[in-house]
Amino acid sequence: MPRRPSGRRRLTKHRPLAFSPFMRSLALASSTAKRKLPHPQDCQCSEEITFDEKPSNLSKKEKKEQLSDSSDEEDSEGDVQADFEFFDPKATDFNGVKILLQHYLDDKEWDLSGFVDLILEQTTVGTVVKVADDEDESVFAVVTALNLGRYKDNKCFRELKEFLVKVCSEKNVASNLQVLLEKKAKDVGLLVSQRVMNLPPQLLPPLYDGTFDEVSWATED
Report the pLDDT value the prediction gives residue 49, as an integer from 0 to 100: 36
Nearest-5° Cα angle at 116, 112 to 122: 145
pLDDT in tens, 127-183: 999 998 877 889 999 999 999 999 999 999 999 999 999 999 888 888 999 999 999
The answer to whether 112 and 156 are in contact (CB under 8 A) is yes
What pLDDT shows up at residue 1?
45
Domains and CATH numbers, the chain: 17-30+81-220 (3.40.630)
pLDDT of residue 105 exceeding 70: yes
Q: Which residues are within 8 A (CB) of 215 and not within 5 positions of it... i.e. 6 or more apart? A: 125, 145, 189
Q: How far apart are CA 206 and CA 213, in angstroms?
A: 10
- pLDDT for the residue 82: 79
Residues with Cβ within 8 Å of residue 19, at least 6 apart in sequence:
1, 2
Q: What's the pLDDT band for 106 if we cut at 50, 70, 90? A: very high
Q: Could you tell me which residues come within 8 angstroms of residue 126 by beta carbon, excluding any fewer than 6 positions away? A: 88, 89, 119, 120, 142, 143, 144, 145, 211, 214
Whole-number percent of the chain with pLDDT over 70: 63
pLDDT over 90 for what percent of the chain? 50
> How do residues 49-97 score in pLDDT, each as one tens digit?
343 444 455 554 554 455 445 444 544 455 667 789 999 999 999 999 9
Q: Is 39 a residue whose pLDDT tops 70? A: no
Q: Is the pLDDT of residue 16 over 50?
A: no
> Is residue 23 over pLDDT 60?
no
pLDDT for position 220: 82
- pLDDT at residue 34, rounded to an integer: 41
Closest-CA residue to 86 (of 146, 29, 19, 17): 29
Question: What's the CA gap between 126 and 210, in Å, rounded?
Answer: 8
Among the ranges given (7-11, 83-87, 124-128, 213-217), the one the predictor scored with the smallest mean pLDDT: 7-11
pLDDT score at 79: 62
- CA 27/CA 86 separation, integer angstroms: 13
Q: What is the pLDDT of residue 6?
A: 53
C-alpha 193/C-alpha 139 separation (Å) is: 13
Per-residue pLDDT, 134: 79
CB 143 within 8 A of CB 203: no
Mean of pLDDT over the chain: 75
- Supply the pLDDT for residue 189: 93
CA distance 124 to 88: 9
Contacts of 55 (CB under 8 A, 6+ apart): none
Model pLDDT, residue 83 = 87
